[in-house]
Amino acid sequence: MANLIDFVNNELSAKKDFPTFGAGDTITVFYEIKEGEKTRTQFFKGVVIQRRGTGATETFTIRKMSGAVGVERIFPVNMPAIQKIELNQRGKVRRARIYYFRELTGKKAKIKERRR
């Protein structure tokens, strides 16, 4: 039964070519918003806090600072409204889920860049 579910998820989900990214990376997500008849593209740039799930149910959480307020947004990887994802900076972190990043302020909130 599990094999059948995996087969359907793999066949029906639209594959998009996104860069590989993980926790600590700074990315920009461009997604489409529909307002009545009009559609526009909006972007959300921030640090990836986590990636969760597998296959069709995989999601990732991005955190950005808007003024002095932290804003987090959860995106499904297979969301049809996502147009593209740009990888701005690779971060050097030692955890897969960096929840501790929420409490950091100032210089402590900077994530070092990973060398390539």
pTM, 2 dp: 0.83
**Side chain identity at residue 20, one-letter code:** T
Q: Which CATH architecture has domain 2-103?
A: Roll (2.30)
Q: Does the pLDDT at position 11 exceed 90?
A: no
Backbone angles phi, psi at 60, to 5 degrees: -140, 145
Is 62:49 a contact under the CB 8 Å cutoff?
A: yes
**95 neighbors 23 (Cβ within 8 angstroms):** yes
Q: Could you read off the pLDDT of 17-53 as tens digits, one per residue? A: 889 999 999 999 999 999 999 999 999 999 999 999 9
Rounded Cα distance between 83 and 99, Å, is 27
Domain positions in the chain are 2-103
